[in-house]
A = this chain, B = another copy of it.
Amino acid sequence: MPSPFDIIAFDADDTLWHNESRYQAAKSDFVRLMASFQPPEQVSALLDEIELRNLSLYGYGMKSFTLSMIEAALAISKGEISGKQIQAILAIARRVLTAPVELFPNVAETIAQLAEQYELMLITKGDASEQEQKINRSGIGHYFRAIEIVHDKTVATYEKILAKYHLSPQRFVMIGNSLRSDILPVVQLGGIAIYIPHEMTWAHELDHNGKLLTNSYYQLDRFEQLPDFLIRLHQSHNFNPPSASPLLR
């Protein structure tokens, strides 16, 4: 039976490999570094606020986060930050940027298996240089026929990708851990979205304004359930993509 899917697309950060945990570790280091100026909760809240405010200017990624840490350090210390402390912030960034990529359990085997049956694509948000380096170091980059590194994942982003590869949404599967970025926009376009939640997902990625009905996307607990699940979808004669609610259009 020919595959009813043209492309199986994956998010990368916190879907294939650890990412948020690194940002959390970097943030803990930063909070400790600022301990002499302000209590942890305040430092943490201010950093979050500055990070979100800077998103539209800086985009996603560790370099943006680092510039936000420096801006937060200046605000928290009322400009009294020392050169040594700024140096320590740059060291946090360097540590994260050079860390090895840690795949989630069973991801390597599952992706290898899926690549035998389907065309795989990676759609990831963030800084091109950081993402390319992570993909190269992940050891699984070669399984993906196409890699799209995008500034943000909105309905328009997915529309452009579908147009570029001449894909119809009904035959497009997107898998990821973010309701905001991987699931909602794909559901809105009438695509097939599979949500694999991860315990450490950036709060920003769980937030969404759209009304996302639970029967409009699929949800799996573990990555290694994917091959069987896709076969089940594939085999069901009346292949029935989750219908996008009119509310969402």
Contact = CB atoms under 8 A, between A and B. Distances in A.
A149 B60 CA distance: 15
A86 B74 contact: yes
A127 B59 contact: yes
Given A74-B83, A74-B87, A127-B127, 7 more contacts: A61-B63, A61-B129, A63-B63, A67-B67, A70-B86, A74-B90, A129-B151
B67 A93 contact: yes
Question: Interface range on chain A: under 10, 10 to 19, 20 to 34, or 35 or more?
Answer: 35 or more
A84 interface: yes
Interface of A: 57-61, 63-64, 66-67, 70-71, 74, 77-84, 86-87, 90, 93-94, 97-98, 126-130, 132-133, 146, 149-151, 164
Q: Does more than half of chain A's interface fall in helix, strand or loop, or is it mixed?
A: helix
B129 A149 contact: no
Nearest to A164: B146
A8 to B, nearest CB: 17
Contacts of A78: 83
A129 B59 contact: yes
A87 B127 CA distance: 23
Contact of A127 (B74, B80, B97, B129): B129
A129 B60 contact: yes
